[in-house]
Homo-oligomer: A and B are copies of this chain.
């Protein structure tokens, strides 16, 4: 049977999580490899998820006054080099254009790995007076980082993202914007992607090249590894000083402005897969599902079945993103296909249902089957989608919370790192040596210092035993 064969083709997640992930990506038709090493094709099913993410985030950004712009994809070498830490962080992994048309270029251009330097160059000409501040700009684009190891959505040489770049008169205002955008990301992940996140600050070791402080949201994947899912950086006036951006304040004094940047990428699609997927395939939270409901006729050649299925599709289509699968495949194949693609609800309608004026609605996540009267579809479908969205969040949250382990000393830290997948909470002295040792010994990195750190689990650093200063979430990470 085709449906059986299709399902068998996925590796079980417990057997080989990495292979399970790759199988889903391919079988759910999200993306494909290309002749361009390290780059991928976003197929319609994958790109449609990104479109929903874009639309939703863009609306949330704009509600806070963000305006979209578009800057060039190329950065002249001399511009990239202006901020010392920044160029050190990015120069080793950029692609260089050295020839334009038939001529070698006088100055080589890198394909943007991120656009801080371009925005600084732009702002330098734009900002003169305090009246020109703030600017709260964002762009949707692709960026390139010449990675050696790549994985679909999680790490590729070219990926899609948005990058916000803002400039402010005061450090306080920049800091406020930095946190505001992090919170937008966190709320979006929890509300729209049904994915709980830990909000916090990165250690100095893990912060963005050139930033004063980097803030992050960290999510836990089903295999217990962390995924950095969005970051927001406060640059202080470091870039402004490096680029000579100045404005006259209302006392007519020259000042350096303060900057931020913040971004999320198509790796969020990888996060959705690894937080919600199961052994039957992808499971999409209803809000981010390009198709929310699939109508599948049973014995579709019997009189009236296909017409009724079409009628249901039209009616439900007015309140949810709905499709009808009227292909000549078997119902079993269609069910399996629907499950593989993660479509939240499927509606089964056959000759007997027709007589009884009902249909069967099946939830993708629980596979729960509910008979629903046809007359009640408009009422019930939105309720079921809503319920599923909430349940998926709660389940992900329970899974996450059940995989947070406290380490009070190094022995505990070691035991957990070796045996228990998930986040490790441990106190830290704030010395780089301990952070380096933990990574070298145990293979875990500091994910973040959470905003909510009331729960100080000990007075001493779990690594060196000296007085502790910060609670840190540690973990293996993608």
Contact = CB atoms under 8 A, between A and B. Distances in A.
B109 A36 contact: yes
Interface string A115-151: 0001001100110000000000100011010101000
B99 A96 contact: yes
A73 interface: yes
Contacts of A101: 92-95, 146, 148
A41 B68 contact: no
A93 B102 CA distance: 7
Question: Contact residue range for chain A?
Answer: 35 or more
Contacts of A44: 67-69, 137
A419 interface: no
A453 B375 CA distance: 55
A190 interface: no
B32 A122 contact: yes
Nearest to A145: B101
Contacts of A32: 122, 125-126
B100 A146 contact: yes
A271 interface: no
A13 to B, nearest CB: 27
Interface in A16-61: 32, 34-36, 39-44, 47-48, 50-51
Contacts of A100: 95-96, 146, 157
Contacts of A320: none
Interface string A62-74: 0000011111111
A397 to B, nearest CB: 31
A97 interface: yes
B79 A35 contact: yes
A379 to B, nearest CB: 28
A472 interface: no
A69 B93 contact: no
A411 interface: no
A29 B208 CA distance: 32
A158 interface: yes
Nearest to A40: B72
**Chain copies in the assembly?**
2
A434 interface: no
Given A70-B41, A146-B101, A76 B121 contact: no
Contacts of A92: 101-102
Contact of A47 (B69, B96, B146): B69
Nearest to A42: B70
Nearest to A328: B131
B121 A35 contact: yes
A435 to B, nearest CB: 26
Contacts of A108: 99
A18 B146 CA distance: 41
Specify which of A51, A92, A93, A109 lies most central, judged by the most chain B CB atoms within 10 Å of its CB. A109
A52 to B, nearest CB: 12
Contacts of A122: 32, 34, 41
Nearest to A29: B126
A95 B103 CA distance: 9
A293 interface: no
A298 interface: no
A282 interface: no
A50 B69 CA distance: 10
A43 B67 CA distance: 9
Contacts of A67: 44, 47-48
A32 B48 CA distance: 32
A395 B158 CA distance: 46
Contacts of A144: 73
A160 interface: yes
Contacts of A43: 69
A39 B47 CA distance: 27
A75 interface: yes
A98 interface: yes
Contacts of A68: 44, 47-48, 51
14 contacts: A34-B118, A36-B74, A41-B70, A41-B71, A42-B70, A44-B67, A51-B68, A73-B142, A73-B144, A95-B97, A96-B97, A97-B97, A97-B111, A100-B157
Given A44-B69, A98-B98, 19 more contacts: A32-B126, A34-B118, A35-B121, A36-B76, A41-B70, A41-B71, A41-B72, A41-B122, A42-B70, A44-B67, A44-B68, A70-B142, A70-B160, A73-B142, A92-B101, A96-B100, A100-B146, A101-B148, A111-B111
